[in-house]
Chains A and B, each alone.
Chain A
Amino acid sequence: MSNHTAKRRKLSCSSDGVPGLEQPTTPESSLNASRPARMNISKIRNTARQPGHSAEMALASGLYKSSLFKLQMDELIAESRPNYDKHLAALGDTLHELKDLIERLPEKPAKHAVEAEKEMRNLHGVTVPYPEPRPSKDTKYSVVYARPTNVNVVGSFALRTGSKLAGPFVVDMAVTMPGSIFQEKDYVNYRYFHKRAYFVACIAAGIKDKKSATLDVKYELQDGDELRPIISVQPAAAAKLDHGYPRYRVRILTAVDDTLFPISRTLPMKVNIRNGCSGGNDDQEHTFYNSSLRSEATVALYHKLLSSAARASESFRDACLLGRIWLRQRGFGSSVHKGGFGGFEWTVLMSLLLEGGGSAGKPLLLKSYSSYQLFKATIQFLAAKDLTEPLLLSAREVSFPSASPVVYDGKRGLNVLYKMTPWSYSFLRQEAGTTLRMLNESREDNFERIFIFKIDEPLLRFDRLVTLPVAEHGDANAVIQRNHAIYGVLQKALGDRVNLIYISSPSGGPSSVESKPHRKQGPRNLSVGLLLDSDNATRIVDHGPSAEQKEAAAAFRSFWGERAELRRFKDGSIRESLVWSEDPSSSIVHQILVYILGRHFAYGEADIGYIGDEFDAQLRNNGDGVLSYSSSAFQMVTDGFNALEKSIQAMEGVPLTVRHLTPTSPLLRYTGLHVDRISGAFPAPADVALQFESSARWPDDLVAIQMTKVAFLVKIGDALTQNGDFSSCQVGLENEQSKILNNAFLDVTHVSGIVYRLRIHQNREQTLLERRVKEQGASPQTKQEIASALAVYKRSFIHSPRLSQAMRTLCTRFPFLSPTVRLLKHWFSCHLFDAYVNEELIELVVLRTFTQPYPWEPPSSVMAGFLRTLHFLSRWNWQQEPMIVDLGGELDQSAVERIRTRFAAWRSIDPAMNSVSMFVGSDIDPDGVTWTQYGMPPKVVAARICTLAKAVMKLVREQGLKLDIPPLFRPALEPYDFVIHLDRKLLQDRSNSVAKFKNLSTLSDPTRAGKHTIVKDFVRDLQACFSPNILFFHGKEQSDVIGGLWNPQTLKPKSWSLALTFSTQPGEATVSINRVAMLNEISRLGLGVISRIDVQNG
């Protein structure tokens, strides 16, 4: 590009910068490699500040992902940035008052810790929030209150890096404790924290005494750290405003001078807790204690660092805002309960990276970066850099406990990530990786998925969830130890079955200053989220070390206990191993969890809550017990197809050679809900399209082609019946009244009982139909008929084979695609959408969850797949947006553009959405209406689908882990105007009688028609007679009702006209719909099929 610059300047000087002003080459090698070229800002930098259209344009197209992304981001930043001036005006006085009050508090002489607490309670009614272990009678040191050296507003309010939140506006105020109240050795054995607690209590008491009328004073934990209780001040209940939230909250933090304790004493691996018995063998515990102590000393230092960063880089504040939003949407926060990485850590990390962090200590971020670049580069840093290899900034040779992430800031002596655990770090890293991929995707702008969606819902996020009851006791270290222990055991036990384990412990809210904090809290639940590995999660046998490796084998045995078995395997090796049962009632991961948690933590099976298997069970119960695409039922269908293909290729006596046989049925692409012949319900025949080698001898007439097809099918049938693989062949008719649709098929029954339905694909039909569409003079109605016949042709002979092939491949690539599709089909059927939704539409919607999984990764469980698909449906604004699915991986920008153009065209042709409501384009089908044209679904139904999906999402949000699954699959009958109940008894008898005579239940027995076929034919009749004035909703085997909905348009009286398409009764001068007569007609038509009709409305 650079050799064109001279010319370019001539062409458009305004939009191009002066070349040659190269930015200083950035040192970061890891970033440069993958950073997209458009982040190269040198050429636009100069113009960026020029006002005017072209400058804005250059900025938008160069510095950001896309101009739309940039525009949305600007909006977002503007929307989320608090109005600091307003807040300052409102809060200034309160803050000043607080500051004065704290500075004027009377000093208190030194006292013994326990006595001081007693006195505090007696005089002020305030407890001292000593952290565990609390000081006892034997404690040698005394506590004291002296005038603070400094009271200052710090943090996001002072730096203006915060974002608007749903809750109150938070202001941090740091009180610097004087060095005089501490002794040299106070960093050991919680002495600092005890003295600090007394100091905090004194301030709390002071505020409470003076201001209790207007302010609520409470204790809370800073960042969930039990060692550091702080004071939280809110306007008292009476002054609550703004949607029930108090307007603001002031958090009073403590700080000490950074030179009070030397950095060398609080290095991560120093042992400062020396109470003999515990011996100091737990690294995590010491590291946390030391860092917690150190962070008290660095409050002022970080404030300085951040404000200088904000001064140095224009976009710093905006980038902080973006970071905060990004973290919040993913449920991360500064608190140890929220992963220990929040806005503060993000801000600090960015300012550190502005100073260093690259190779050879050069800065990783540049001051000239735009907010987007700062954000992206930080995300990239989080995703790419493995921080469990300690990253030392301005420091060397500091040792850290293994497995925890480290960004050690040598100048200030603190590991910025000290609150992070191995699990929260790996989770953060995964989220950063996903976000980075979203940012790098050129096809979609992903803005909503990055910043707008709230994606911390555990049910949507994880594949399996485990809840464990735990006793909370205020001891910070015990909690840390326990969580680490559980994590260690789970990680070892589940191994490569899981990709990620995330433990989240409950966090306590603020507590009153009067009561003893954190003492009596009942049992809480620890929740563990698992992201499964879809290939390994269901493995039955685990291989341990071989018997010869004595030590490893012993360790394996001691870990697994009696479950470990010594086995000889096929390859001759003798290994320790574990064999799990294939019992469908308990998945293997569940078995492992129950066993190992019972063994190591004495949890009983009843204690362990396990969420996720219910969805599998739902599918198993309603999908013939088949879960995986690799199950034998699907295998049988495929085998039968292969046999059919072979026989057809080898058959003699048919004058044309067969080019190929292509599957077009859901059964042959692993997405049919009913695959097995269980409970008398026959799976639908598996559709197959057959194409002959092209021949010029096919007649030039549609009817004649159909007749020729019949002749061919009879011949093929004759040839196949001589083959032992097939028990019978019979030619059947469909659409026989139409002269333009396919008329005939051949049902071939394989010996296994599976029926294949062969249709002949002749591409001359397409040419003839297309010619007739173009023909002059035909009536619009005929033209429509021909167009719809053409659509049917394309659907069954062009798109269906394509889709089948793509789905087959994708089902093997994503093992959970097939079960998720099938469960969703069941859901649609349960809600009686069968008549209005093509199965293929459901398949495509689910597929989208897998091939375009953002903001998550492809699901590895039915639960995640199912709920995320509903999440998509709940948000899909189908009226204004097409759904675009990637099937073959060839969906690029131009393909998306093409699909969007088609969509816009459809909306302008059919703005009322009578023909096309939902629009689904893909790389193999850019037309986008193949499966949804002609009211599949009509817009009423489309809206209802989205409403139902929204209702499910609402339940997920509200009930969380307590969500009950079966009600999700129960249809709500209230919205229907009338409900037709199918005659359950009669239909059941029929299917039983069929099951009784299995040998007779072949093609020769036409009564083999299952309930589903009869109901389908019945509904088709009803639709033919009453559409579009009544909508009929029905489901598959499991549902016994048909819902009916009057078209509200028809309910008003009309003036008499021949064009009315419903039964009427005469009124004064008008006619109105004769509903009773129509219901009577329905009941006459359903004689023997239905038992009763309940009229619910009107």
Chain B
Amino acid sequence: MNKDLEISGYIVLPLQLPSTPSFPTPATHYLYLRPHEPRIPDPDTPRSLFLVNIPIDTTETHLRHLFSTQLSSGRIERVDFESVRTGKKSDAAKIALLQGTNIAKGKKRKRVTADELEGRLDEFSLPSTWDRQLHRSGSHAVVVFVDKASMEASLKAARKAARKSSAIIWGDGIDESRLPRLGLQRYLAHQRACYPPRADLLRSVNEYMNVFTEVAEARKREAARRAAEPDEDGFVTVTSGPKLTSAAGEEEAKRLIEKQKKKEQGFGDFYRFQSREKRKERQIELLKRFDEDKKKLEEMKMRKGKIRPE
């Protein structure tokens, strides 16, 4: 391959794709990589590589295999895929949660705040029906290595591999049984996974709902505490009556507004001046319509040519 090894600062790493019975034409995939340089760097940035145009069936196993075995350079700590990273908030929450629990452990705090609890809600989700995530074509990933040295070694190895014409075969040598399979088996597995066992379902629901109730209670407590605190002027606002949940309140409000509107409509043609005005409006409307129609006809003629029977 005598092509440019670099494009816009990215190293171009050609990967030979294994041919398949249904499409035997040999194919080469091009992976672009360079050190990760996000706008807001975090502690992991110095030991991360930024990969562009990963194959759609990339898994963490694939990348681990690529860097540690095929390029035999660095060890990978984790891979952040683009499609997963879109839920940044959950990541941040997770980190916060990790830190939070650490702190909680350290200080043996008794009360967890509602926000922290809410973060925990993300832990519980319904079982997934797909055993392997696919990526959209041309998407990118961040590979975090164990240390900066492995990252740099990998980069170097990649550059070398790119220069050499001996091709790296994508996914060659991976233990197939470690990966969920693609193709027919994938779809059959999906059909199976669509109907998870009753117990699993109930467990995730129960866990989620328990935490959710806790959150709701914590929020209520916080609200009560806030309500009991005197404001700047030293007053305490006293509220009473059952509180509708906010969504229900909104629905009720909508209905009331609707009712009020109806009431305001009243009689439209009670007075003579009203009917006169209405008539005038109608006439103006008619005139306007006529002009509009004329314009429309012009447009029609422009579009379809002359009006002529077929």
Contacts and interface: CB of A to CB of B under 8 A. Distances in A.
B307 A72 contact: yes
Contacts of A30: none
A664 interface: no
B26 to A, nearest CB: 8
Contacts of B57: 1081, 1084-1085
A736 B294 contact: no
Contacts of A1021: 134
A1081 B17 contact: yes
Interface stretch (B65-73, B204-212, B225-233): B204-212
Contact of B23 (A734, A1064, A1082, A1089): A1082
Interface string B181-219: 111111110111111101001101100110010001000
Nearest to B26: A1076
B279 interface: yes
B113 interface: no
Contact of A1007 (B26, B126, B191): B191
B306 interface: yes
B195 A732 contact: yes
Interface in A1-55: 4, 7-8, 11-12, 15
Contact of B209 (A708, A764, A986): A708
Interface stretch (B99-107, B144-152, B259-267, B283-291): B283-291
Contacts of A453: 310
Given A1061-B136, A1086-B183, A79 B307 contact: yes
A1017 interface: yes
Contacts of B269: none
A1093 B23 contact: yes
Interface string B248-263: 1011000000000000
B19 A452 contact: no
B25 A1079 contact: yes
B224 to A, nearest CB: 17
A587 B208 CA distance: 61
B129 A736 contact: yes
B297 interface: yes
A1060 B23 contact: no
Residue among A1068, A1080, A1082 with the highest chain B CB neighbour number at 10 A: A1080
A1074 B198 CA distance: 45
Contact of A1062 (B138, B201, B250): B138
B246 interface: yes
A1056 B125 contact: no
A328 B309 contact: yes
Interface stretch (B3-11, B41-49, B153-161): B3-11
Interface residues of B, number: 87
B303 interface: yes
A981 B286 CA distance: 60
Given A1014-B184, A1071-B7, A1076 B20 contact: no
A523 interface: no
B56 A768 contact: no
B12 interface: yes
B128 interface: yes
A555 interface: no
Nearest to A165: B309
A133 interface: no
A704 B22 contact: no
B251 A1085 contact: no
A1093 B22 contact: yes
B198 A1080 contact: no
A880 B53 contact: no
B184 A1077 contact: no
A480 to B, nearest CB: 31
A639 interface: no
Interface in B12-46: 12, 17-20, 22-23, 25-30
B137 A1081 contact: yes
Interface string A702-718: 01101110110010000
Contact of B20 (A57, A1018, A1084): A1084
A705 to B, nearest CB: 10
Contacts of A1080: 17, 19-20, 23, 25, 27, 29
A11 B208 CA distance: 71
Interface stretch (A113-121, A693-701, A816-824, A906-914): A693-701
A731 B196 CA distance: 8
Interface in A999-1018: 1003, 1006-1009, 1013-1014, 1017-1018
Given A329-B309, A736-B125, A1025-B136, A1089 B293 contact: no
A452 B301 contact: no
Contact of B136 (A452, A732, A1026): A1026
Nearest to A718: B198
Contact of B245 (A61, A700, A1062, A1079): A700
A733 B127 contact: yes
Contacts of A1088: 183-185
A701 B209 CA distance: 11
Interface string A175-196: 0000000000000000000000
Interface in A293-318: none
Contacts of A15: 283
Contacts, number: 258
Contacts of B138: 1060-1064
B135 interface: yes
Contact of B137 (A696, A734, A1007, A1029): A1029
Contacts of A747: 195
A1076 B25 contact: yes
Contacts of A703: 121, 208
A1082 B57 CA distance: 10
Contact of B205 (A710, A767, A1087, A1090): A710
Nearest to B251: A767
Nearest to B124: A707
Interface string A877-892: 1001000000000000
B56 A75 contact: no
Nearest to A696: B248
A1085 B22 CA distance: 11
B74 interface: no
A147 interface: no
A1069 B7 CA distance: 7
Nearest to B272: A7
Given A67-B289, A733-B127, A11 B22 contact: no
A1080 B310 CA distance: 50
B286 to A, nearest CB: 6
A743 interface: yes
A743 to B, nearest CB: 6
B276 interface: yes
B247 interface: yes
B202 A1025 contact: no
B134 A1056 contact: no
Closest 4 CB pairs of A and B: A1087-B183, A1088-B184, A1083-B23, A1006-B192
Given A76-B309, A743-B126, A767-B251, 17 more contacts: A68-B296, A79-B308, A325-B309, A451-B309, A708-B205, A732-B194, A733-B193, A1006-B194, A1007-B191, A1007-B192, A1014-B184, A1024-B134, A1025-B134, A1061-B139, A1074-B29, A1077-B28, A1080-B19
Interface of A: 4, 7-8, 11-12, 15, 57, 60-61, 66-68, 71-72, 75-76, 79-80, 325, 328-329, 451-454, 696, 698-701, 703-704, 706-708, 710-711, 714, 730-734, 736-737, 743-744, 747, 764, 767-768, 771, 877, 880, 981, 986, 1003, 1006-1009, 1013-1014, 1017-1018, 1021, 1024-1026, 1029, 1056, 1058, 1060-1066, 1068-1069, 1071, 1074, 1076-1093, 1095
26 contacts: A11-B280, A11-B283, A68-B296, A72-B307, A452-B310, A707-B204, A707-B208, A731-B198, A733-B126, A737-B128, A764-B248, A986-B184, A1006-B191, A1021-B134, A1061-B138, A1063-B138, A1066-B30, A1074-B28, A1076-B26, A1079-B27, A1080-B19, A1081-B56, A1081-B137, A1084-B18, A1085-B186, A1087-B22
